[in-house]
Amino acid sequence: MPKASDIKKNAAIEHNGKVLIVRDIARSVPQGRAGGSLYRMRLYDVVTGGKVDETFKADDMLNFADLSRRPSMFSYIDGDEYVFMDNEDYTPYNLNKESIADEVLFINEETQGISVIIVDDSPVAIDLPPSVELVITETDPSIKGASASARTKPATLSTGLTVQVPEHISTGDKIKVNTEERKFMGRADSK
């Protein structure tokens, strides 16, 4: 059993009878308290999709949940379900659009590095790669001579996600987006 201080992001733990995925961890050391650090975790209930905030002491013992991650590709949309295909054995995994609403903004048929998270033989969530490449479908015209560090403007991507991009970027450009911070990272490498 790991201590709270050993838990990393995207780990799955069992707590209060629920399976929770760790989305964010903030460590704090209260003044004048013997016993050390506190770990505030933003957790995500894999069954309901609800967010849960919990605080643990560094030496609180936690249980890892029984889950597996399967490398997969987005395949197609079937009504309210997004269907992912296992990269190795081609098993289809159906996930309800509501449970992965935040993640689908980063996904198209070309997205590499997606994992489907399986708990008790059921797909419950997806893990995104650290960055994805998407095409800008709409943004203000680029400004000639604008430097890379100049002001930004909003750009709508092919998935519906909107991010701030530098003024020299234009509609049709393929860009790299950080999936955790929802931020522009640069132009995608053209292959």
Tell me the C-alpha distance between 167 and 158, whole Å: 19
pLDDT per residue as tens digits for the range 143-153:
766 555 568 99
Asked whether residue 68 carries a pLDDT value surpassing 90, the answer given is: no
Consecutive H or E run containing 148: none
Q: What residue spans define the domains of the chain?
A: 4-64, 68-127, 131-187
For 131, the enclosing helix (H) or strand (E) is: strand 131-139
In the numeric block, which tokens belong to residue 90?
Answer: 């081609």
* CATH match for 68-127 among 3.40.50.450, 2.40.50.140, 2.102.10.10, 1.10.760.10: 2.40.50.140
Q: Which CATH architecture has domain 4-64?
A: Roll (2.30)
Separation of alpha carbons 72 and 85, rounded Å? 5
Which tens digit of pLDDT belongs to each residue from 15-52? Answer: 988 888 887 888 888 776 666 789 999 998 877 778 88
Residue showing tokens 């990269």:
87
The pLDDT of residue 185 is above 80 = yes
According to CATH, the superfamily of the domain at 131-187 is: Nucleic acid-binding proteins (2.40.50.140)
pLDDT for 92? 96
Residue 184 has pLDDT above 70, yes or no: yes
Query: What average pLDDT score do residues 119-133 get?
Result: 87
Please determine whether the domains at 4-64 and 131-187 fall in the same fold group of CATH: no
Name the most confidently modeled range: 9-18, 30-39, 91-100: 91-100
pTM of the model: 0.71
